[in-house]
Structure 1
């Protein structure tokens, strides 16, 4: 009996978790605002969120960091929300809210008890229609962003890695500059610059509104129309970013960080944008190489050969181009070039050999679980719906994206590694402690 029970438990644990299909409705208002509604009445919670198709890459030379600045600036207040009261209003109604910005989009959201649905919609409509943007608020938020840059980038160990990657992987595309911007650009930002930026990007035809949770669909449609339908459409946004020349020979670079004592090795490749099928395959390759202690790079460099304190492969997805990086920290006096050589040996194996059937099944199980977990909460569902519509152009990915991963073959994994992860297409960065000054 015990053996039978153990067998049943083992079989059950091997089965992929079943994801319930996410039902939703979507439509457009006359002003171009795309609306997505998802009803789930299992808990008295509602998410109101707006994603704007504006991120760090949307800037002119000398004016970097505006999208991130606006992540802060649009909490300053509106014609009907007093300065500094946004968070107080939300928390006093039992809610929480936040925002985040990437190189490609900005996302604002509130999570409320569902009897505050109308409040959440009103606040987001106020942010879109009636923001107060004045010199006082601009000066305040520029200082907030500059301090954030000091804490997270300038004075944080390994905080310069993403800016260094951008600078080395891109020469023309705005991804070459950090999402948070440069200090001198923030200092140079004028009130006129900022007002023009708001009028261009924070408009209904450049946004998606997602309402998810304990809602009545008809009533929610009525409220959406009440608060958003009269917001004026903005001008059509034209994006024409420069195309990068291919990397055809290895690039070597050195960067210094005053905040570290242990150097790091970074091997990086420029890869396709996240909408491309190859980007999904690269996700699987990164998981195969470094996800968990049994992964190829971790087991080899950390456990067996004890050459690295840490090692990780990451496919950093972006809309126009991705960044595939392998980051490692050496043990003791292990040369960084040794880590690069050992890492290349494992990547070369992916380029030349099929991964084993057992490893392939492990990957499939991991991605099944990730897929289920990403949509296990109302907040997760709201974020997925917004992202899939705005950045991927396909809301239904929330239900079918797992099929893409399921359809990836071992042969395809090898082909994609051969296509993008070759030594002549890589950037190798020695990320070092800052040398002592010569005094």
Structure 2
């Protein structure tokens, strides 16, 4: 009887948690096409103002790689009404913090202020959209800033080139073949005319979503948004047409070199579907099953038991058009790279050919439930999720309903998706070695 009562109580508690975590929001469009999402949470006197633009590293022409990231930096230079170099000073002097980041698919800007500075955040983001100062001084300054970032984070960082090597070897035509940060020669080649054209094309209200989340009054916030963002002109419709990749049908081997490392690495890489596809969710579960935590299959086998790997992992890298999937290892005790590949493929093969255990399946479900709750635990996280779900997934309601997708994934489906995408003949073996590339 005690167990039964405990079970009922636990069920009621989980039901309450699920209800308590539901995110309420209001969304609508301005006449200029800007989509607006508002989330009211008056539990703390803070507010997040964010704008996500549907433009990322893949949105560029050949010879102009890295434009989205470069442009992200450039739009902190200043505006018609914000003096050059004063952006961060204005934010910090008013008790706020801000940042931005760029992926291959989108660019995201946000400010977090005490709620009495909501109007300031809205004004600053409307200034960024309507009145950016784009001149040669800013271009020259940010070219050097981005090039230094590239040197620090990629060129001179141990294993910093692994992700670019992954893209280069999984894609032949699609812009995902090139690194999001771009190439030095392309950064040097960027002209003022290029930058102005990029701004005119992509930084328009009908290519963006504005999210305001936190301690707000919905109706007052709507009025401020209309005042600041309503007058911004609508841009031209953006047409995207990227090359379609031919399937990988024969296993390839690629070798890359990194002078910043002493221990090599190796991996199995696969091209996978875009993140809106259901199969992409299943692949996320498979990577968690294989390598999330010390009790995961790869870690327990190759690190704990067999002492073959210093580090091992499986990662699903979701992107809009195609995803990337990597199973990698760093050897321990001079373990041969070929041995690591064989051991990793053995574990992947088990997922392709056998149902994972009911116990492991329940552990997976618990982890994804926990991740879902945590993702909605802060106003800043909620703002980012709302923007992403609307702009990239086309469904704002995923902020409350995405967990249902994971709950509906079965053990049989995990096996089926692994067999569909993670076969040896669809993979690229990447050997990432210390030293300089040998001269031809």
TM-score, with normalisation over the residues of structure 1?
Answer: 0.96
Aligned to 1:234: 235
Determine whether 1:96 maps to 2:66.
no
Kindly provide the CA deviation profile for residues 144-168 of structure 1, in whole angstroms up to 9, marking residues without a partner as x: 0000000000000000011100100
Question: 1:389-400 counterparts in 2 under 5 A?
Answer: 389-400=390-401
Aligned to 1:126: 127
Distance 2:352 2:301 in 1: 18
Distance 1:354 1:297 in 2: 16
Aligned to 1:289: 290
SS of 1:43's partner is: coil
Kindly provide the CA deviation profile for residues 373-399 of structure 1, in whole angstroms up to 9, marking residues without a partner as x: 011000000000000000000000000
Determine whether 1:43 maps to 2:40.
no
Distance 1:96 1:203 in 2: 24
Distance 1:436 1:291 in 2: 33
Aligned to 2:200: 199
Shift of 1:266: 1.5
Shift of 1:70: 1.0
Kindly provide the CA deviation profile for residues 167-186 of structure 1, in whole angstroms up to 9, marking residues without a partner as x: 00000000000000100001
Distance 1:306 1:267 in 2: 20
- Distance change (3 Å), C-alpha of 1:180 and 1:234: same
Distance 2:64 2:314 in 1: 32
Aligned to 1:211: 212
Distance 1:81 1:204 in 2: 20
Structure 1: give runs of 5+ residues left out of the alignment. Answer: none
Kindly provide the CA deviation profile for residues 61-110 of structure 1, in whole angstroms up to 9, marking residues without a partner as x: 00011100011000000000000000000000100000000000000000
Q: Is the 8 A contact 2:204 2:235 kept in 1?
A: yes
Aligned to 2:361: 360
Aligned to 1:20: 21
Distance 1:240 1:83 in 2: 36
Distance 1:51 1:11 in 2: 39
Structure 2: give runs of 5+ residues left out of the alignment. Answer: none
Shift of 1:348: 0.5
Aligned to 1:180: 181
Shift of 1:11: 6.4
Kindly provide the CA deviation profile for residues 335-390 of structure 1, in whole angstroms up to 9, marking residues without a partner as x: 01101000011010000110000000000000000000011000000000000000
Shift of 1:204: 0.2
Aligned to 2:299: 298
Distance 2:167 2:385 in 1: 26
Determine whether 1:382 maps to 2:383.
yes
Kindly provide the CA deviation profile for residues 14-34 of structure 1, in whole angstroms up to 9, marking residues without a partner as x: 969635210000000010000
Determine whether 1:159 maps to 2:160.
yes
TM-score, with normalisation over the residues of structure 2?
Answer: 0.96
Shift of 1:47: 0.4
Question: 1:222-371 counterparts in 2 under 5 A?
Answer: 222-371=223-372
- Distance change (3 Å), C-alpha of 1:60 and 1:11: same
Shift of 1:437: 7.3
Q: Is the 8 A contact 2:268 2:327 kept in 1?
A: yes
Shift of 1:208: 0.2
Kindly provide the CA deviation profile for residues 253-280 of structure 1, in whole angstroms up to 9, marking residues without a partner as x: 1000000000001110000000000000
Distance 2:42 2:203 in 1: 31
Distance 2:374 2:92 in 1: 27
RMSD (Å), alpha carbons: 1.8
Aligned to 1:403: 404
Aligned to 1:145: 146
Distance 2:374 2:178 in 1: 32
Distance 2:267 2:140 in 1: 37
Kindly provide the CA deviation profile for residues 295-327 of structure 1, in whole angstroms up to 9, marking residues without a partner as x: 000000000000000001000000000000012
Q: Hey, which bits of structure 1, 4+ residues long, moved more than 3 A? A: 14-19, 435-438
Aligned to 1:434: 435
Shift of 1:434: 1.1
Determine whether 1:109 maps to 2:136.
no
SS of 1:268's partner is: strand
